[in-house]
Structure 1
Amino acid sequence: MDLIRVAIADDQVLFRKGMAAIVDSFEGIQTVIEVDNGLELIEALGAAEEKPHVALLDLSMPEMNGVETTKVIRKYFPDLKVVILSVYAEDRFVIHLMELGVNAYLFKNVEPAEVEKAIRTVVTNEFYFNNSFREAMNNRMQVKRPRRLATEDLWSDLSARERDVLELICKQRTGQEIADELGVSVRTVDGHRSSILEKTGARNTAGLVLFAIKHGLLDPSQTL
């Protein structure tokens, strides 16, 4: 990919302009859409000849907030990677957005280097989990421990190769890396991934990892 195109939706003009300037300072990354809210973003996406690869969304916006915008994006623009930038640090926000199909969740006080890392990672690997996400998952698991029994049937429904693929996905391996490690083609890996998505009901790769963590198939620390 020669250029990573980014859309930014945030009603705080100063923050949005600053974020656009930061994004444009990253090599090979460019802001192509800059709007006040989710509704304007959806309209801009529909009109764009070249769709952006990544959308940076504020969670709290007028007209259409980050949650509703994510739902629409997942329905009509499923290939667009969504990175939430928010001031909300509550675990429930982090987990809920991941369940909706968000590819990364960052707090607005992160360093620019982490924003760049998140953008590049969701493009190449579909999801980016940082320490804040892992802490949120650990906190949620302490409140309500998952029952392995609940997933035994699902785990047995997966073929041995699907289990291998899922475990490598959870370790943040790319499709090519998984193919190389298992000695199969990338197309075969994609086929296994699609089958796992269907069986688990996850919305995307990030959802697969979240599913594995919530149901005790993976410790959050293993996503490092």
Structure 2
Amino acid sequence: MNEKIKIFLADDEELFRKGIYFLLNREENIEILFEASNGKELIDKLKESTQENLPDIIMMDLKMPLTNGVEATKIIHKDFPQIRIIALTSYNTKSFIANMINVGAASYLVKSSTPHDMLKTINEVAKKGFYYSESVMEVIHQDVLSSGSSRTILDDDFLTLREKEILELICKQYSSTEIADMMCLSTRTIDGHRNNLLLKTQSKNVAGLVIFAIQNKIVKLDEYNNS
């Protein structure tokens, strides 16, 4: 039997939070370890938790008292980089999405989403470490274009052919295991290449790799949408 996905849930709206708890608590592969009503309570709980009691995923509202979701995400991404954060919000604006992805959110879920979308997001993040829907990928793409920023690859050897292939597959949201199977390599080898890509591109997370790939035209949005 596979281990359960351990989740911390943070939202100051108790009725909404309890509704999410009720939905997730029915899933055999999910376990809610803790509920927080604000960002400070969440961070305090993380700091006092043992390694065994830390969550795999935090589902967190952006607008919370004491410490809001954006600031909490920055702190958690720095102090607990292994924990994946799914941003929960009523705001579906491009600026909110771009900001949350940039500060380290593994996914972005609008509160008007369906239970099916929520469960898919949780399972994809647990499996791959991140999940960006087509709409979020579109925002990332537009944010890159509107910022006018670019990272110039100095020469053709900056990334090896293998690294480019793996980067394309990462951007298409294949997991390390799936990429390993497709390329007849071990998962450890793929993880090693991903770590090298993070170092080479000076990216903090997978979102950074996606941005780098778009900036340098290694992957195009239409290729992602058709994958």
* Same structural fold, with TM-score higher than 0.5 when normalized by the shorter chain: yes
Partner of 2:170: 169
Partners of 1:164 and 1:5 in 2: CA distance? 32
User: Where do residues 200-219 of structure 1 align in structure 2 (5 Å cutoff)?
Assistant: 200-219=201-220
How far is 1:74 from its partner? Answer: 1.1
Structure 2's unaligned 5+ residue stretches are none
- 1:181 equivalent to 2:177? Answer no
Partner of 2:48: 47
Cα 1:178–1:13 change in 2 (3 A) is same
- Contact persistence 1:54–1:81 (CA under 8 A): yes
How far is 1:5 from its partner? Answer: 0.9
- 1:65 equivalent to 2:52? Answer no
- Contact persistence 1:8–1:33 (CA under 8 A): yes
Cα 1:45–1:105 change in 2 (3 A) is same
- Contact persistence 1:170–1:222 (CA under 8 A): no
- Contact persistence 1:100–1:203 (CA under 8 A): no
- 1:77 equivalent to 2:80? Answer yes
The code of the aligned residue for 2:97 comes to: V
How far is 1:105 from its partner? Answer: 0.6
- Contact persistence 2:144–2:211 (CA under 8 A): no
Task: After superposing the two structures, state which structure 1 stretch, 88-97 or 78-87, moved more.
Answer: 88-97
Count of residues in Structure 1 that have an aligned counterpart in Structure 2:
222
Cα 1:52–1:141 change in 2 (3 A) is closer
Structure 1's unaligned 5+ residue stretches are none
Q: Percent identity?
A: 36
Cα 1:22–1:222 change in 2 (3 A) is farther
Cα 1:68–1:123 change in 2 (3 A) is same
Partner of 1:15: 16
Q: CA RMSD in A?
A: 2.0
CA shift digits 1:49-104 (9 cap, x unpaired): 32111100111111111111111111111111100011112211111211111100
- Hey, which bits of structure 1, 4+ residues long, moved more than 6 A? none
The code of the aligned residue for 1:179 comes to: A
User: Where do residues 141-156 of structure 1 align in structure 2 (5 Å cutoff)?
Assistant: 143=146, 150-153=151-154, 156=157
Partner of 1:32: 33
Task: After superposing the two structures, state which structure 1 stretch, 101-110 or 132-141, moved more.
Answer: 132-141
Partners of 1:154 and 1:117 in 2: CA distance? 39
- Contact persistence 2:87–2:109 (CA under 8 A): yes
Structure 2 length-normalised TM: 0.89
How far is 1:115 from its partner? Answer: 0.8
- Contact persistence 1:134–1:221 (CA under 8 A): no
Structure 1 length-normalised TM: 0.90
Partner of 1:222: 223
The code of the aligned residue for 1:117 comes to: K
